[in-house]
Amino acid sequence: MRIAQVTTYVIKQPTESAYLGKLDDGTSPRADDGYFVRPPWRSLYSPHMETLLVCVTTDDGLEGWGEALAPVGPEVVAAIIDRMLGPWLTGRDPRAVRPLWDGMRDLMRERGHLVGHQADALAALDIALWDLAGKAFDLPVAQLLGGAYRTEIPAYVSGLPEPTDEGRARLAADWASQGAFAVKLAAGKGVDEDLATFDAVAAAAPGVRIAVDAHWAYSLAEALELGHELDRRRALFFEAPLAPEDTDGHRELASRITTPVAVGESLRNRYEFRDWLSRRALGLAQPDVARTGITEAMTIAALAEAHHVPVACHHSVGLGVALAAGLHVSAAVADSPYFEFQPTTVPFAQRILRKPLGAGPTGFTLPDGPGLGVEIDRETVTDLAKES
């Protein structure tokens, strides 16, 4: 069995509601505006659903699918695969997943490309190779990883995409009525404003645990002030509080509050996570499998376990391939308490699957077929790519 072809699909599709909802002024991002910033957050966002899918096909017709978390510029990731990584993989045995991972990693390792778009490209191909290996051996990926600790993966509802606290509280109450045990707030808008949102949601949905994602917005002093208040409110976790490069600041924050500091979506590899874990700069590791790949995610999970830190995989705008990959990793990690449920993106994620994943505000069902356990509708993927 040899790899015969590597095909990329750039997806840029309009959606009914923007990721993270309307802007603070109540308006929706326009599809023709291009990338934009949502103050006070600093990152670029897209008014579209953007991602990069890859299909690795063998000489006997077997297909493995992967996906990179590429919410902006997926064509950059596609170019890396088309021009460098795909040609290198062609002709090789796809069942040698770990040796192939090491080989792809080393191609640009000394040039600093263990991070950024190349890391995203590596992740997509690694997921596709695990999918292929599972199909070749007729086993689910979780079994190839050593077995599933769970087949039902608990979830927290990520984001309450309304521009007012009244709207967020109403959404939280609705999710609570559907059985959700936890929600995560898109915060970072000022300590007082974040606490007001927290309290409004807590009042509307008593008994529901609340996490806070600050989107890297705060100084250490502000994060400490908010963190102490979150301690009093028994928050589930405090995600991305400081600038993503401020490891020492996160370490100090983590040492001075009891709410777990959650970090991981900005990190791509074991070396970065090792640094954060050894410094005790995080209390909840959040690797995104569509940015690390399955091979690296499992290594990161082992490092986290050695430091007695639980792993809760991050998931945002990925489609059904990224979602399935994250679920297999979550199932195969011993201490993985919950997974991120994105209500605005999951319906779109299901569009490329012939059979939808079991997904809802209470959690996910691990797909049990060979490989990732999902069947991709290639015609739909091709049509979405043509429209992008």
206 DSSP assignment: T
Q: Are residues 128 and 157 in the same domain?
A: no
DSSP 242-277: S-TT-HHHHHHHHHH-SSPEEE-TT--SHHHHHHHH
Q: Which pLDDT belongs to residue 84?
A: 96
Q: Are residues 361 and 235 in the same domain?
A: yes
Convert the pLDDT of each residue in 172-198 to its tens digit: 999 999 999 999 999 999 999 999 999
Q: Are residues 168 and 268 in the same domain?
A: yes
Residue 19 has pLDDT above 70, yes or no: no
Domain that residue 295 falls in = 143-376
Q: Are residues 183 and 326 in the same domain?
A: yes
CATH number of the structural domain spanning residue 86: 3.30.390.10
Q: Are residues 214 and 232 in the same domain?
A: yes
Convert the pLDDT of each residue in 56-103 to its tens digit: 999 999 999 999 999 889 999 999 999 999 999 999 999 999 999 999
Whether the bond between 367 and the residue before it is cis, its omega within 30 degrees of 0, is no
Q: Are residues 174 and 322 in the same domain?
A: yes
Convert the pLDDT of each residue in 300-347 to its tens digit: 999 999 999 999 999 998 999 999 999 999 999 999 999 999 998 999
Question: How many percent of the chain have pLDDT more than 70?
Answer: 97
Half-sphere exposure of 23 (CA within 13 A, CB side): 14
| Nearest alpha carbon to residue 319 among 301, 297, 342 | 342
Q: Is 215 a catalytic residue?
A: no
Q: Which has more confidence, 121 or 15?
A: 121
CATH number of the structural domain spanning residue 187: 3.20.20.120
Residue 54 has pLDDT above 90, yes or no: yes
Q: Are residues 161 and 42 in the same domain?
A: no
Q: Are residues 198 and 243 in the same domain?
A: yes
Q: Which has more confidence, 28 or 358?
A: 358
Q: Are residues 163 and 122 in the same domain?
A: no
Q: How many domains does the chain have?
A: 2
Q: Are residues 218 and 229 in the same domain?
A: yes
- From the list 250, 314, 315, 328, the catalytic residue is 315
Convert the pLDDT of each residue in 136-155 to its tens digit: 999 999 999 999 999 999 99
Q: Are residues 92 and 129 in the same domain?
A: yes
Q: Are residues 175 and 295 in the same domain?
A: yes
